Amino acid sequence: MKKLTFIFVVLLSMTANVWSKTNIVISTDNTQLILQVKENGRLYQTYLGERLADGTDLDLLDMPRTNVTQTQTKGNEVYPVMGTEDYFEPAMEIRHVDGNATSILKYISHSSKAINGGTETIIKLKDDLYPVNVTLHFAAYEKDNIIKEWTEISHNENGLVSLSRYASSMLYFEESKYFLTEFHSDWAKEMQMTKTPLIYGKKVIDTRLGTRAAMFSQPFFEVGLGEDVAENSGKVLMGTIGWTGNFRFTFDIDHDNELRIISGINPDASCYMLKKGEVLKTPEFIFTLSTKGIGEGSRNFQRWAMKYQLRKGDGDRYTLLNNWENTYFNFDEAKLTSLFKEAKDLGVDLFLLDDGWFGNKYPRKDDHAGLGDWQATKTKLPNGIPYLVKAANEAGVKFGIWIEPEMVNPKSELAEKHPNWMLKLPNRETYYYRNQLVLDLTNPKVQDFVFGIVDNIMTENPGLKFFKWDCNSPITNIYSTYEKEKQGNLYVDYVKGLYNVLQRIQKKYPDLTLMMCSGGGGRCDYEALKYFDEYWCSDNTDPVERLYIQWGFSQFMPAKAMCSHVTNWNRTSSIKFRVDVDMSCKLGFDIDLKSLKANEMQFCKEAVKEYNRLKPLIYSANIYRLASPYNGDHCVIQRVSDDKTHALVFAYDIHPRFMANLLPTKMEGLNPSALYTVKEVNLMPGEKSKLSFDNKTYTGDYLMKIGLMITSTNEMSSRIIEMTQK
């Protein structure tokens, strides 16, 4: 009997050897994601981590490697579907036309091709019983250490297949500990960072707001793997989803302490009905894995975004004067014309006319009426927009304009003419947010209308250079007359409709500059970056609060995309402090310039010149965050040029304690053997630097190992220090 068992085992192992493993390797310079087709024909993740040495035996890799429980109920399948032996949260859940709710996806083939900056791997999977196809895409950007993933789902069944989950990505990690940093938000409180250890069970970050999707949670996260990560140490996964709508990240730790991270569209209230032959393409989940802390991850993201994602990522940006906080709705032609001259005097590139310029039957004099009627109000602006564009150009500045094209006030001619174009429940009381409703962008006629808003303004005003595209309301009444019985598709199809419009604008007006806004920073994700050059981070322009908001966004976003305007919020702080905070991002002004004293105005004018000179450095992806506002009383951020010959440090003191102990700040990213001249810039007119090291020369080594005393105990004070290689 024993002999028979032995022969059986030998035979079994021989068959196993005959089967040859298919390994699919997705690599960047530092990271590797390795997938393997196992004997059952299904695809599993066998490795995700630091790049392995060439020649590593990929066949030996396997996950999970932990002491798994006796009854194996999971195997780290790359795209597990509900209804199989994996009892944890799946990536996909499907109900076939016959009512069956299972799918087993088998590997069919894979291929790879070169893409701009990287390599795309395409893996085809197919249900073993039903005509359901799932294609996984992985684009790896070798030099930037960024990987993005998305999925395409289609079927050939006779009828509608329903998808109640359709993740973009599922990744697995085996570490002793996990620490999650999330970015929660509210109006005027965007990107607040909170760190929590992840423990057994699920943690979900999601949104269900539709249009102003990121009002409460932003689509970004950081997970410290094995240890709590710091700016310059620790292993961290940093991820984001490119989706301008409802998203969900699920962090699920199982009984073996294995973590799975599922990222995608939030499937809640979005059971997607898929037609035969139709393809559901999920949004891109984009991640970087850094073994040197968050700083390196942020540099990866910022560099990659400017190269491959952000609209005109390698281009310049306009400085501007906005009239919102100066005039609100209260302006006319004469007032605006005088502001054009002030903008010119300040030295900015563009004047941005905000809300309140449109509507005739229901003029927009506050936020109760007019949205949808995109014609200039004759009583306010008798000569229309062409006159304003001309007057601005004559004054020597470019002209830009605010729109909120996805929205409608019930008090508007548009609402009267097209009651079916608004998202609105047919049988319940309507709930209004900021007195407005969302237009139904699933309807192609509405898409034409929204595209037409930009197209008509541009046709009438070819010289107009800039749109601020606002979006103040979430979707409040989830019902579309256009979607009919497919109401579950609405949240998803809305975003697809929005992208259709934005693609048309992109194609017809490639030179336009577009700013995204959503009642502050309630909508700024990586897919939207493809269509918008920049976004409004927050209505909160208090410089102290801005330091936290900008610190949060800088984890993922390039400085040139982050609009930061000098206003009167927190006027107890000096104009220098306010300008210094805004100069670290994309500078603008939204303030009554006449309220400034002569030396303050002079300072602002010189600051604009200084900003223009330093822009290439400020927009560099090489960010080093030297002191966090979350850790105490100071915030210090450094930018370094790619060739390390030029660096800029923004040092802010917030509310330091009396006689608080100060230490020198050590720089980073410099060339240790190079000599740098250190100079304080952006001083008040006539003021001389009080810093003992001003105009002195130091080696990069000194600056990085010993550092300089660049912080102080003065409340809300700041300095900008330039370092130039000799």
Does residue 466 belong to the site contacting ligand DGJ (CB under 6 A)?
A: no
For the chain, give percent helix, strand, coil, nearest 5. Answer: 25, 30, 45
Does residue 717 belong to the site contacting ligand DGJ (CB under 6 A)?
A: no
* The two structure tokens encoding residue 698: 């130091």
Position closest to ligand DGJ via CB: 355
Least CB distance to ligand DGJ at residue 653 (A): 28
Least CB distance to ligand DGJ at residue 316 (A): 23
For ligand DGJ, the closer CB: 301 or 402: 402
Stretch that binds ligand DGJ, among 41-49, 193-201, 517-525, 571-579 (CB under 6 A): 517-525
For ligand DGJ, the closer CB: 355 or 440: 355
Does residue 313 belong to the site contacting ligand DGJ (CB under 6 A)?
A: no
Instruction: Report CA-CA distances (Å) from 518 to 301, 318, 523, 715.
Output: 23, 20, 6, 32
d(CA 680, CA 685): 13
Backbone torsions φ then ψ of 528, nearest 5 degrees: -60, -30
Does residue 351 belong to the site contacting ligand DGJ (CB under 6 A)?
A: no
Taking CB under 6 A as the criterion, which residues in 104-133 touch ligand DGJ? none
DSSP tag of 326: H
d(CA 465, CA 454): 11
For ligand DGJ, the closer CB: 105 or 524: 524
CA angle 487–419–424, rounded 5-degree value = 35
Residue 428's contacts (CB-CB under 8 Å, 6 or more residues apart) are: 477
Stretch that binds ligand DGJ, among 7-15, 104-112, 515-523, 640-648 (CB under 6 A): 515-523
How many residues touch ligand DGJ (CB under 6 A)? 11
Least CB distance to ligand DGJ at residue 27 (A): 42
For ligand DGJ, the closer CB: 437 or 720: 437
For ligand DGJ, the closer CB: 130 or 536: 536
Torsion, CA 401, CA 402, CA 406, CA 410, rounded to 10: -120
For ligand DGJ, the closer CB: 86 or 470: 470
SS3 124: strand
- Binding string to ligand DGJ for residues 519 to 548, with x set by CB under 6 A, is what? xx---------------x--x---------
Stretch that binds ligand DGJ, among 307-315, 516-524, 599-607, 715-723 (CB under 6 A): 516-524
Residue 515's contacts (CB-CB under 8 Å, 6 or more residues apart) are: 466, 467, 468, 469, 532, 533, 534, 535, 536, 563
- Binding string to ligand DGJ for residues 369 to 408, with x set by CB under 6 A, is what? ---------------------------------x------
Stretch that binds ligand DGJ, among 102-110, 176-184, 226-234, 513-521 (CB under 6 A): 513-521
Least CB distance to ligand DGJ at residue 471 (A): 9
Q: Residue 713's Cα: distance from chain center in Å? A: 34
Out of 517, 562, 640, 647, point to the residue binding ligand DGJ (CB under 6 A). 517
Stretch that binds ligand DGJ, among 20-28, 498-506, 512-520, 574-582 (CB under 6 A): 512-520
For ligand DGJ, the closer CB: 210 or 519: 519
Out of 324, 399, 531, 652, point to the residue binding ligand DGJ (CB under 6 A). 324
How deeply is 649 buried, as exposed, middle or buried, from its count of CB atoms within 10 A (0-12, 13-18, 19+)?
Answer: buried
For ligand DGJ, the closer CB: 306 or 475: 475
Least CB distance to ligand DGJ at residue 651 (A): 28
Least CB distance to ligand DGJ at residue 516 (A): 10
Residue 401's nearest CA partner among 342, 473, 324, 343 is 324
- Cis bond before residue 64 (omega within 30° of 0): yes
Taking CB under 6 A as the criterion, which residues in 33-72 touch ligand DGJ? none
For ligand DGJ, the closer CB: 402 or 548: 402
Out of 77, 254, 349, 355, point to the residue binding ligand DGJ (CB under 6 A). 355
Backbone torsion region of residue 234, taken as left when φ is above 0, otherwise alpha when ψ lies between -120 and 50, otherwise beta = left
Least CB distance to ligand DGJ at residue 262 (A): 32
**Positive or negative: CA dihedral 359, 363, 365, 368:** negative
Least CB distance to ligand DGJ at residue 288 (A): 30
For ligand DGJ, the closer CB: 472 or 564: 472
Stretch that binds ligand DGJ, among 440-448, 514-522, 540-548, 612-620 (CB under 6 A): 514-522
Q: Residue 406's Cα: distance from chain center in Å? A: 20
Does residue 467 belong to the site contacting ligand DGJ (CB under 6 A)?
A: no
Least CB distance to ligand DGJ at residue 588 (A): 11
For ligand DGJ, the closer CB: 143 or 368: 368
Backbone torsions φ then ψ of 54, nearest 5 degrees: -55, 140
**Positive or negative: CA dihedral 594, 720, 676, 296:** negative
Look at strands 105-115 and 118-127 and give their pairing.
antiparallel
Out of 144, 149, 252, 354, point to the residue binding ligand DGJ (CB under 6 A). 354
DSSP tag of 308: I
One-letter amino acid at 39 equals E
> What is the DSSP code string of 20-74?
PPEEEEEE-SSEEEEEEE-TTS-EEEEEEEEPPPTT--GGG--S--S---SS---
> What is the DSSP code string of 245-260?
S-EEEEEEE-TT-EEE
**Positive or negative: CA dihedral 290, 552, 241, 89:** positive
Least CB distance to ligand DGJ at residue 468 (A): 6
Summarize as ranges the residues that interact with ligand DGJ (CB under 6 A).
324, 354-355, 402, 470, 472, 517, 519-520, 536, 539
